[in-house]
Amino acid sequence: MMEWMADPSAWAGLFTLVVLEIVLGIDNLIFIAILVDKLPPHQRDRARVIGLSLALLMRLGLLSIMSWLITLTDTWFSVGPFDFSQRDIILVVGGLFLLLKGTVELHERVEGKTQHASGSRLHAGFGVIVLQIVVLDAVFSLDAVITAVGMVEHLSIMMIAVTIAILLMLIASKPLTRFVNAHPTVVILCLGFLLTIGFTLVVEGFGVHVPKGYLYAAIAFSVMIESLNQLARRNMRRVAATRPLRERTAEGVLRMLGMRVQDGDEPAPVLDSALPAQVFEDEERYMVSGVLTLADRSVHSIMTPRPEVAWLNLDDPPEVLRQRVLDSPHSFFPVCRGSLDEVAGVGRAKEIVADLMEHGTIRKGRLREPIIVHESIDILRLMETLKKSKGKLVMVTDEFGAIVGVVTPIDLFEAIAGEFPDEDESPDIVKLGEGRWRVDGGADLMHLELVLSTDGLVHDDEDYTTIAGFMLDRFGHLPEQGDRCTLATGQAEFIFTVERMEGRRIASVLIDRVPSVSQDLADNE
């Protein structure tokens, strides 16, 4: 029975048949990967092994009765001009099954419908999936078995070739399943192959021969295009991965909050109109976006600038110093001599008042060493410095050693949650009516963007962080009261009017929102 082992041509036939069996089984393997994905993860490997093992037994059984399979081409019955054999009926039924299965799977994938119960995914029954694997393999086995019958004469060679092919499929099925599940477009492509093969089987069942070369050429071309698509996506992911993960995460969350995020000259993404117009409340948007953009901000955007710093001059009379402390809501003060740049230390308000009442002066021994940082410090390092300051203020200096501002923990908190005006302060942004605001010249641009629900005010490559700086950049010169500049966005146009000047400083700005023409047309529709 094993005389063929001494025949080199028999070995060549075995090798060729193994290759053909694997090639003919690739489509089967792909659809098995799609089927087992419907099972819970801990059952997938067992279903794959049991299904392919039963498929192996079925193929061996079909090979054992190959003499009967050869006779399946005889006419069994006729319907009009069509003569049907048992083989034709199997092909038609199998093809219809593939068409039905492929259509249902494709509909579920395209529609994106998922079933949920108690918060977890519903999985198909284990036996149902195994049965579908066996039925699918029964359909696909016809080509493999008929190919084996037509290629070699010895039944043992056929069985060995089929067994080797199934074992290789068992080994390759798990990594292939993992690949298919990780690439949804591959699943859609495979389901398209399933529909094509099902249609081909039905047509052949009606006696119309479809050359396999055409089918394999179409599949090979589709696989080549999908390979290029996967390569392009991998390259895009590689390029995207060069950007900091924090930045990509922040942009994703900001889009979810309903904010437009622009990358260079790329147009801002358009939100789906089917989504709710307002998913998050304003205060929630301010806080989340404040946290996500905090690390990108400069110290200038959160500090109290030099002109607004409340400080004590040791050269002033005790009564003046005491009254200044009592009139201010601050609990710490820079104590200087002559000017803010000559810092002697930082004093606590209640200790300063006690010294002034008891000794008529501020004792230097009660002052704390000032904490001074350079204006180039990033916000995260500044946050660590504020933690170590134990509630004290931190002074910011420029490259020439001049004090440009101070930062307190409340300044950092306001950068996240918005303004918390002191008793002697008024809010930087006041809404006067629908589409109209009065804004202090020192208002932070990032907070203003959130209030106006727009973009275009903040530019990373610019040095200014306030609305006054933005307008000075637009004017190119020191403006006068009543001067205007505009900012056009996709949804509206904003008119910025200088309401009040204080010396060379823009003290107050009026902002009016005028809907754009495109927005008016959209509202009328």
Asked if 396 contacts 404 with a C-beta cutoff of 8 angstroms, the reply is yes
State whether CATH 3.40.1280.10 applies to domain 429-524: no
Architecture category of domain 299-417 in CATH: Roll (3.10)
* Torsions phi, psi for 331 (to 5 deg): -100, -15
Phi-psi region of 141 (alpha: psi -120 to 50; beta: other; left: phi over 0): alpha
pLDDT digits 0-9 by tens, 29-60: 666 767 777 777 777 778 777 877 777 777 77
Report the SS3 class of residue 493: strand
Residues in the chain where the model's pLDDT stays below 50: 1, 114-122, 149-151, 263-278, 519-525
Asked if 343 contacts 334 with a C-beta cutoff of 8 angstroms, the reply is yes
First to last CA, the chain: 84
Which residues lie below 8 Å from residue 384, measured CB to CB, with a gap of 6+? none
Cα gap 92→190, rounded to integer Å: 20
pLDDT digits 0-9 by tens, 164-205: 877 877 777 667 666 766 777 777 776 777 678 778 878 877
Element (H, E) at 346: strand 343-348
> What's the pLDDT at 1?
45
Cα gap 441→467, rounded to integer Å: 6
Q: What is the CA radius of gyration of the chain?
A: 38
Residue 496 CA to its chain's centroid (Å) = 35
Cα gap 20→143, rounded to integer Å: 10
Domain positions in the chain are: 3-210, 299-417, 429-524
Pair type for strands 436-440 and 505-515: antiparallel
Q: Measured on CA atoms in the order 34, 35, 39, 41, is the torsion positive or negative?
A: negative
Q: Measured on CA atoms in the order 307, 311, 314, 316, is the torsion positive or negative?
A: positive
> What's the pLDDT at 163?
80
> What's the pLDDT at 395?
94
Element (H, E) at 507: strand 505-515
Widest distance between CA atoms in the chain:
121
41-64 and 126-151 helices, crossing angle to 10°: 30
Task: Provide the token pair at 393.
Answer: 């203020």
Cα gap 408→302, rounded to integer Å: 9
Nearest 5°: CA angle at 334, between 333 and 335? Answer: 105
